[in-house]
Amino acid sequence: MITVTAKLAPLLRDLKKIPGQFQRVAKELVDSEARGFVRDAVLATPPFYAKSAPAPDNPGKFATVTGTEAKKAAEAKIDSEASAIFAGVILKGKRTITQAFGHPLKNPVVVATKELHPNVESLWAERAARRFAGKRKTISRGQKAAFYVSSPKLIKAIAARKKNVGKLASGWAAAADKLNVKLPAWIKRHGTARGGVQIQLGSLSYSIRIQNDVPYGDALQLQSIADRTARARERKLAARLPFVIRGAIKRANREALRAA
């Protein structure tokens, strides 16, 4: 489980000094920051990627690719992994032995063959687990020769993996749905069951708690991505606050004049 909590009350301390403004302004800021965090978190989550280094105070610019480009990049990576691990062949289920002990046979013998790697997806998952354990960036077959597998099974395994593209980012979908943040269709297709959001609104305290429950998020360092995004959002809010407070003071003065 990836959990990020942004406690905004300390940043909003000065608002408490402005009569009648804290509740309204704080709620607007919390809603805005929650939406901003979800947008930035999605754009910083694989398969989105950076073509250039992101600005440390602006994770929203971390992804310089569109949703379609990120999806295509993820699918291309799956194709690359498949070719690195496997060699697809047509299995005939039998072979003909034409020689024995170095001598040709007068009557060739047809024998049944056994499929050495019948479960392509299981073998692929095992190679992926080794990559995570070794903290390597790519999946390899770990040997010089490819794993020869049934071509139809390999095609099916590739298609199944491509259908999972966007599942990691779908851990933010529950929050996006609640906060009206638009997501690409290839992320939305995975639903909202892999995450959640809680916005706590107290009389003088506000906080946001967002979860991404995709089980392999830890292996992909998603917590680090989320923490970096949240801290950057807090810095951006701190930079905005002087202008927000100035506007709140003006509104408070106008309201006081009207009431006089």
Q: Quick one: pLDDT at residue 135?
A: 54
pLDDT, tens digit (0-9, with 9 covering 90-100), for 163-198 = 999 999 999 999 999 888 999 999 999 999 989 888
pLDDT, tens digit (0-9, with 9 covering 90-100), for 22-65 = 677 777 777 888 888 888 888 888 888 665 555 555 554 444 45
pLDDT(155) > 90: yes
Across the range 125-133, mean pLDDT stands at 73
For the chain, the domains span 2-47+166-259, 84-163
pLDDT(94) > 80: no
Between these two residues, 110 and 254, which has the higher pLDDT value?
A: 254
Q: What angle do CA 96, 102, 104 make, to 5 degrees?
A: 50
Check whether the bond before 59 is cis (ω within 30° of 0). no
Which DSSP helix (H) or strand (E) runs through 16?
none
Q: Quick one: pLDDT at residue 137?
A: 54
**Own/partner long-range contacts of 251-257 (Cβ < 8 Å, ≥24 apart):** 251/21, 252/18, 252/19, 252/20, 252/21, 255/20, 256/19
Q: For residue 180, give both structure tokens.
A: 């009206």
195-201 β-sheet, strand order: 2-7, 206-212, 195-201
pLDDT(228) > 90: no
Phi, then psi, of 84 in degrees rounded to 5: -75, -30
Between these two residues, 9 and 198, which has the higher pLDDT value?
A: 198
Q: Quick one: pLDDT at residue 142?
A: 56
The gap between the terminal CA atoms of the chain, to the nearest Å, is 53
Average pLDDT, the chain: 78
Across the range 209-233, mean pLDDT stands at 83
pLDDT(83) > 50: yes
Distance between CA atoms of residues 33 and 94, nearest Å: 64
- Given the DSSP bridges, would you call strands 94-100 and 103-112 parallel, antiparallel or unpaired? antiparallel
Q: Quick one: pLDDT at residue 159?
A: 95
Between these two residues, 102 and 112, which has the higher pLDDT value?
A: 102
DSSP-based three-state secondary structure for 191: coil
pTM over 0.75? The answer is no
Phi, then psi, of 111 in degrees rounded to 5: -125, 155
The listed range with the strongest mean pLDDT (17-26, 131-140, 227-236) is 227-236
